[in-house]
């Protein structure tokens, strides 16, 4: 069988390194064609020396010289800058682009990969949140499949295998509830970045870890699911499942529900996004029911964790509203991580930004770019003026 040639955007992050772990286990099935990082040049160099890609891109141009000197003698091409990330994905020798960079920065490279006809393994959910309608349309036009990496969406995709012609009645996205599940607003008023960075079940990058604590992650996933699976908002339900074993569920029109289960290990959905329609043998730890005698489910608390409601609102509003939600969220999360805004203030700032930013009902790609830019300025000013 042929090997799949993979480009990993954001190879030095949590998803990126786990993707390389999957590829390491299946060196006969995958080869690494491209790796990219933003700042972490040391890890990028080490990865390139191990996996011998055709080319690497370092986003931060200040690190270009270091990476070039380390890799050129090994015949690995080195490029730098944001534009280079969007260009490198067009390379002839790439079969699939795994998007594991964080936030809005994934949008333009993903658009360019789809236009070049590359299959997408999508971890970077923010791209679907910002421009889901445009991305899915582009993918259709270019006969590109988008394979979900996000565990919930992978679960739904796995439930849909063999069912693609059967209508979905609804999907149920499970949420761990994060480190502050069951807490009230008085408690959340006082939480620190250190507390928010401790996720009970998953070890992830800082941005998504904060999003998980604030339930914005689930809000982003609702929007991601809408576009990936072509659903109406009313067909998407969220249920809190603290053990993170049932990764999500699909209910069909006969009333039957399918779920996908497993230990919380991102390498399973990463691998399936790359191996579909096959499953490759892995040595990941197996799930044991007897160690989890109780799997529990509860309603999310939308009054305390307002971000999830704000995401549903943005989805209902449509147009560029999810793009505004996402940009405002990226700014408030970065500020929370710098101790500049409090945990609960994040939702307030997002809500005010949603009212202030220019609404566009039918945005083009350029509109999304402009809306992202405008929103960041608005939220930044709100934060600066609050002191």
The answer to whether the beta carbons of residues 274 and 94 sit under 8 Å apart is: no
Tell me the two tokens of residue 277: 């329609």
Question: Residue 202 binds which entry of ligand NDP, Mg ion, none, with Cβ cut-offs from 5 to 8 Å by kind?
Answer: ligand NDP
3 has binding-site annotation: no
**Selected binder of Mg ion within 150, 211, 224, 330 (CB under 5 A):** 150
Q: Residue 10's closest CA among 176, 125, 146?
A: 125
Question: Residue 119 binds which entry of Mg ion, ligand NDP, none, with Cβ cut-offs from 5 to 8 Å by kind?
Answer: none
83 has binding-site annotation: no
Q: Is 216 in the site for ligand NDP (CB under 6 A)?
A: no
**Selected binder of ligand NDP within 6, 7, 37, 97 (CB under 6 A):** 37
**Selected binder of ligand NDP within 56, 134, 204, 324 (CB under 6 A):** 204
Q: Is 211 in the site for Mg ion (CB under 5 A)?
A: no
14 has binding-site annotation: yes
Q: Is 47 in the site for ligand NDP (CB under 6 A)?
A: no
Stretch of residues binding ligand NDP (CB under 6 A), selected from 36-44, 90-98, 223-231, 244-252: 36-44
Q: Residue 167's closest CA among 229, 227, 112, 217?
A: 229
Instruction: Give min distance, CB of 324 to ligand NDP, in A.
Output: 18
Tell me the two tokens of residue 227: 């576009």
60 has binding-site annotation: no
Instruction: Give min distance, CB of 328 to Mg ion, in A.
Output: 20
Separation between Cα atoms, residue 95 and residue 97, nearest integer Å: 7
The answer to whether the beta carbons of residues 36 and 15 sit under 8 Å apart is: no
**Selected binder of ligand NDP within 19, 40, 260, 347 (CB under 6 A):** 40
Q: Residue 121's closest CA among 254, 207, 22?
A: 22
Separation between Cα atoms, residue 169 and residue 257, nearest integer Å: 10
| Residue closest to ligand NDP (Cβ) | 13
**Selected binder of ligand NDP within 5, 6, 13, 22 (CB under 6 A):** 13
Q: Cα dihedral sign for 40, 43, 47, 52?
A: positive
Separation between Cα atoms, residue 56 and residue 35, nearest integer Å: 5
Instruction: Give min distance, CB of 167 to ligand NDP, in A.
Output: 27
Q: How far is CA 237 from CA 139, 194, 231, 248, in A?
A: 26, 30, 11, 10
Separation between Cα atoms, residue 93 and residue 113, nearest integer Å: 12
Stretch of residues binding Mg ion (CB under 5 A), selected from 60-68, 144-152, 242-250, 298-306: 144-152
* Window 264 to 293, contacts with ligand NDP (CB under 6 A): 266
Instruction: Give min distance, CB of 42 to Mg ion, in A.
Output: 28
CA atoms within 13 A on the CB side of 375: 31
Q: Is 12 in the site for ligand NDP (CB under 6 A)?
A: yes
The answer to whether the beta carbons of residues 36 and 10 sit under 8 Å apart is: yes
Separation between Cα atoms, residue 370 and residue 376, nearest integer Å: 10
| 91 or 101: CB nearest ligand NDP | 101
The answer to whether the beta carbons of residues 58 and 37 sit under 8 Å apart is: yes
Site residues for ligand NDP per CB under 6 A: 10-16, 37-40, 59, 85, 100-102, 105, 123-126, 150, 202, 204-205, 208, 266
Site residues for Mg ion per CB under 5 A: 150-152
């Amino acid at each position: 069988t042929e090997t799949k040639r993979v480009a990993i955007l954001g190879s030095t992050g949590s998803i990126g390194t786990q993707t390389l772990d999957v590829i390491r286990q299946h060196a006969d099935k995958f080869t690494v064609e491209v790796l990219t990082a933003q700042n972490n040049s040391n890890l990028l160099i080490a990865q390139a020396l191990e996996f011998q890609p055709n080319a690497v891109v370092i986003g931060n141009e200040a690190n270009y010289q270091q990476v070039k000197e380390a890799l050129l003698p090994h015949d690995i091409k080195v490029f730098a800058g944001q534009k280079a990330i969007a260009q490198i994905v067009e390379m002839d020798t790439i079969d699939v682009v795994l998007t594991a960079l964080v936030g809005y920065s994934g949008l333009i490279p993903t658009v360019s990969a789809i236009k070049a006809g590359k299959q997408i393994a999508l971890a970077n959910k923010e791209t679907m949140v910002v421009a889901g309608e445009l991305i899915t349309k582009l993918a259709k036009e270019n006969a590109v499949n988008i394979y979900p990496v996000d565990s919930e969406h992978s679960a739904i995709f796995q439930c849909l295998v063999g069912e693609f012609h059967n209508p979905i009645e609804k999907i149920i996205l499970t949420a761990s509830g994060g480190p502050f599940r069951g807490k009230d607003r008085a408690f959340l008023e006082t939480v620190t970045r250190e507390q928010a960075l401790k996720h009970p079940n998953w070890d992830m990058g800082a941005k998504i870890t904060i999003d998980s604590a604030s339930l914005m992650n689930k809000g982003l996933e609702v929007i991601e699911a809408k576009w990936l699976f072509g659903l109406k908002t009313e067909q998407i339900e969220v249920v809190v499942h603290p053990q993170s074993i049932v990764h999500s569920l699909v209910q069909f029109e006969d009333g039957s529900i399918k779920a996908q289960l497993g230990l919380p290990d991102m390498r399973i959905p990463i691998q399936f996004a790359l191996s579909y329609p096959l499953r490759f043998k892995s040595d990941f730890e197996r799930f044991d029911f007897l160690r989890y005698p109780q799997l529990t489910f509860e309603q999310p608390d939308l009054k305390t964790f307002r971000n999830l409601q704000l995401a549903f609102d943005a989805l209902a509003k449509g147009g560029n509203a999810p793009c505004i939600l996402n940009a405002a969220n990226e700014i408030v999360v970065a500020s929370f991580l710098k101790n500049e805004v409090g945990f609960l203030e994040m939702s307030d700032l997002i809500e005010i930004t949603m009212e202030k930013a220019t609404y566009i009902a039918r945005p083009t790609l350029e509109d999304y770019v402009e809306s992202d830019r405008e929103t960041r300025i608005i939220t930044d000013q709100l934060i600066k003026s609050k002191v």
